């Protein structure tokens, strides 16, 4: 009967369609959330800046972002200098960020964005694929091991008299927990509005994360898990399972 009625209305020149539900869920990207929640001229910490992908992303998203970028890999840092050193709104730092001041060995990978203070695990689908892409043997995927300077965000903020961060973006290939340990003061005092970080669930490095490994630093300090962007959605297909998670300051954004 429904088909007959629909056909009749079509003959008369009408189209029957389901009324959209105003309560329908709208899928928002992290950048769309930032556009709604973060001011147009934010102070951003880009930890693990690599060759500037996130800097370009934030420049496109905001009118006048002030960005403090941190990259320990000297080769990638030189690319940052070439592309951004003339921008007064960008502060470039050739250091790593962790839980204490020290000199630490960085595993420099054939694909620089995979460089980490944590060693990769051989004989995984991910390292096999990345090695094939680089046209090298798995054992050669780490090109070199370089000693680099490490500092903490708490120290950096103290030295530079920074009392508030709008966005703290962390992409450090399984070193996110150490970065958060070095943020104790600013997190305890809720001096950050938004924390964006990568959580790797696959064991492509010598350790991997669960949400509890990250949330123990954030949830007790009134930061709430607010959004996620997944890359693959399980451990059993694809070469790597990871996600980018967003935690927001509950008081700032009225998330109670």
pLDDT at 26: 86
pTM for this prediction? 0.89
Helix axes 30-37, 53-61, angle to 10 degrees: 40
3-state secondary structure 57-121: HHHHHCCCCEEEEECCCHHHHHHHHHHHCCCCCEEEECCEECCCCEEEEEEEECCHHHCECCCEC
The predicted structure's pLDDT at residue 24: 73
CA distance 156 to 165: 12
* Beta strands 96-97 and 142-151, pairing class: parallel
From residue 4, alpha-carbon distances to 8, 15, 16, 27, 235 in Å are 6, 13, 12, 35, 48
| Separation of alpha carbons 79 and 156, rounded Å | 22
Give the tens place of pLDDT for each residue, 128-156: 999 999 999 999 999 999 999 999 999 99
- Tell me the two tokens of residue 132: 């094939």
Which two three-digit tokens encode residue 21? 């539900």
- In the predicted model, residues of the chain with pLDDT beneath 70 are 1-23
Q: What is the pLDDT of residue 256?
A: 81
pLDDT (0 to 100) of residue 14: 52
155 closest CA partner among 85, 101, 79, 219? 101
Contact by Cβ (8 Å): 226, 30: no
pLDDT of the residue at 19: 54
Torsions phi, psi of 145, nearest 5?
Answer: -125, 115
Per residue in 181-211, is it b (16+ CB within 10 Å) or e — as a string? bbbeebbeeebbbbbbbbbbbbbbbeebbee
CATH architecture of 21-249: 3-Layer(aba) Sandwich (3.40)
* Domain residue limits, the chain: 21-249
β-strands 66-70, 43-47: how paired? parallel
């Amino acid at each position: 009967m429904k088909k007959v009625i629909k056909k009749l209305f079509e003959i008369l020149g009408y189209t029957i369609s389901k009324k959209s539900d105003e309560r329908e869920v709208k899928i928002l990207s992290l950048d769309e959330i930032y556009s709604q929640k973060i001011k147009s001229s934010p102070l951003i910490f880009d930890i693990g800046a690599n060759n500037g992908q996130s800097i370009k992303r934030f420049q496109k998203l905001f009118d006048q972002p002030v960005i403090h970028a941190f990259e320990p890999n000297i080769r990638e840092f030189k690319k940052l200098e070439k592309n951004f050193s003339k921008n007064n709104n960008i502060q470039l730092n050739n250091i790593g960020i962790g839980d204490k001041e020290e000199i630490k060995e960085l595993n420099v990978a054939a694909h620089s964005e995979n460089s980490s203070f944590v060693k990769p695990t051989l004989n995984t689908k991910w390292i096999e694929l990345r090695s094939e892409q680089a046209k090298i043997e798995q054992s050669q995927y780490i090109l070199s091991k370089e000693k680099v300077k490490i500092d903490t965000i708490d120290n950096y903020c103290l030295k530079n008299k920074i009392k508030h961060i709008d966005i703290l973006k962390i992409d450090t290939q399984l070193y996110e927990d150490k970065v958060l340990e070095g943020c104790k003061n600013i997190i305890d005092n809720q001096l950050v509005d938004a924390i964006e970080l990568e959580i790797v669930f696959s064991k492509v490095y010598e350790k991997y994360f669960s949400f509890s490994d990250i949330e123990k630093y954030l949830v007790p300090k009134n930061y709430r898990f607010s959004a996620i962007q997944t890359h693959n959605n399980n451990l059993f297909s694809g070469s790597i399972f990871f996600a980018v998670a967003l935690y927001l300051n509950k008081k700032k954004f009225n998330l109670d």
